[in-house]
Amino acid sequence: MSTARLHLDPAFTVGPVRRRTFGAFVEHLGRCVYEGIYEPEHPSADADGFRTDVLELTKELGVSSVRYPGGNFVSGYRWEDGIGPREERPVRLDLAWHSSDPNHVGVDEYMAWCEKAGVEPMMAVNLGTRGVQEALDLLEYCNVPGGTYWSDLRRKNGREEPYRITMWCLGNEMDGPWQIGHKTAEEYARLATETARAMRMIDPTIELIVCGSSASDMETFGAWEATVLNEAYEQVDMISAHAYYWEKDGDLASFMASAVNMDHFIDSVTAAADWVRAVKKTDKRIMISFDEWNVWYMDRAESVPPKGDDWPVAPVLLEDHYNVADAVVVGNLLISLLRHTDRVASASLAQLVNVIAPIMTEKSGRAYKQTTFHPFALTSQFARGDVLQVGIDSPTMTTARFGEVPTIDAVATRDPDTGETSVFVVNRALEGETTISIDTRALTEWADTELTGVSASTYAHSDHTWQATADDDATVAVQTNESATREGHTVTVTVPAISWTHLHLTR
């Protein structure tokens, strides 16, 4: 059995826990919208056609915000097709995913769903096939109270009060050659800057997110960020980052260490943004919106879109079925996002339902939780207050992609009002248990009373390839870890290989 040590000290904080870290993503892709959040014929559907079983799971997941309508889809989207009477809405080809969209769900339906789910909307505008004017029209429709063409049309369509959407994405992955309307950094920078400037003339309170690199291995990574921000810096608030991870060629060790890459990605984008800040000699600091992240097996058959004359509505696309190891990696990626809370202002798990998602549905049938549901839900529930820097002394493991990496990774959060502290831990080791000792002396010094309560929950299984199904999504669940003990100022817990654990320290 190996051992590791963690040290917690409230004097060393990274920044506040941001609720927007626990965002998700709903794109018109596959069965995410149709048969996912919306299925009027389903037994659980409400009067607006939304599946209430999915709504309840969304609330249980602890989602804070939802990005919409894409993703690659948005770069060919005509938003005005999705408003007004449904019977008058046109069916359009979705070139991004070789599908058809009936436009039964559009802006008003999305906003109604957000209100039911209790989540903040994040709206993306099309800067692929469209530009400044179309973005202004959408903003007017959503945020202007009335008295203008688009705002009065919203009122005519049944929504009297403006939606007042705060977060807006200026396109999607415009650095990618796969993107409809793909642009060079210089071309995109000019378009995004002018779009942002004009949008602020309508609503100066909005927060704008400019496209960063689609992945850290893009040839233009770094240079793209510098070029775009050099042009758009004063007009935007955040720059996006996207990253997906999967087990490649049976290299489980490297896959378990995926958060090493996310750490590098965030640090590199931060460096590029701060270089522009230094050159411009400004006090303004650009934050990161990590608005697409997840485990995604891109080489699987379900990730291949239809082709030819086949343009189906809601085809089965990107429906990865996750295992226990995938869930542990998702938990570790959340650890990475939290420990960069000083620069990551928002994040979106991609996606919410059916499409590389923690929630799966059957058409006309059941909804169930994937393995990845559990670490996300518990981290969202218990991460409160401030994120603490965690001193980690851990054994290491050898990986093909990242060299020697610590087997134990962790982050902690502390509620300054109650002193309650949560520690989120992953054991990346492929075999064997690890006993972790946590030094909590500093926590006691900062608390009005000593923290004596200790509990732990672990997600793991002897078969890390176990997957949930509609018939069984509970055999492998988060279990109480009875090994958690406290002696003096030291908390000790033993965690199995390939596991995610939450420790809760209370008065």
Catalytic residues: 173, 292
Phi and psi at residue 45, in whole multiples of 5°?
Answer: -65, 140
207: part of which helix (H) or strand (E)?
Answer: strand 207-210
Query: Does residue 356 sit in helix, strand or coil?
Result: coil
Say if residues 34 and 313 touch (Cβ distance below 8 Å). Answer: yes
CB within 8 A of 32, min separation 6: which ones? 26, 351, 352, 353, 354, 355, 357
Amino acid identity at 200: R
In sequence order, the 6+-apart residues with CB closer than 8 A to the CB of 305 are 97, 98, 99, 315, 317
Q: Is residue 76 within 8 Å of residue 96, measured between CB atoms?
A: yes
CA distance 433 to 496: 4
Helix axes 324-339 and 258-280, enclosed angle (nearest 10): 20
Helices (H), 341-411: 373-382
* Site of tokens 């620069």: 343
User: 291 near 347, Cβ under 8 Å?
Assistant: yes
Contact 456, 491 (CB under 8 A): no
DSSP-derived secondary structure for 483-496 = T-EEETTEEEEEE-
Give the separation between CA 140 and CA 323, rounded to whole angstroms. Answer: 44
Element at 435 (helix H, strand E): strand 434-439
Residue 272's region, left for phi above 0, alpha for psi from -120 to 50, else beta, is: alpha
Q: Which residue has the tokens 């990346």?
A: 428
Q: Tell how strand 359-361 and strand 344-350 pair up.
A: unpaired
For tokens 């506040």, what's the residue?
Answer: 16
CA distance 141 to 444: 52
Q: Which two tokens stand for residue 418?
A: 């109650």
DSSP lists the bridge partners of residue 432 as none
Distance CA 359, CA 368 (A): 6
Q: What is the DSSP letter of 313?
A: B
**Cβ atoms of 360 and 367 closer than 8 Å:** yes
CA distances 306 to 252, 310, 314, 352, 382, Å, are 30, 6, 11, 22, 41
Contact 414, 494 (CB under 8 A): no
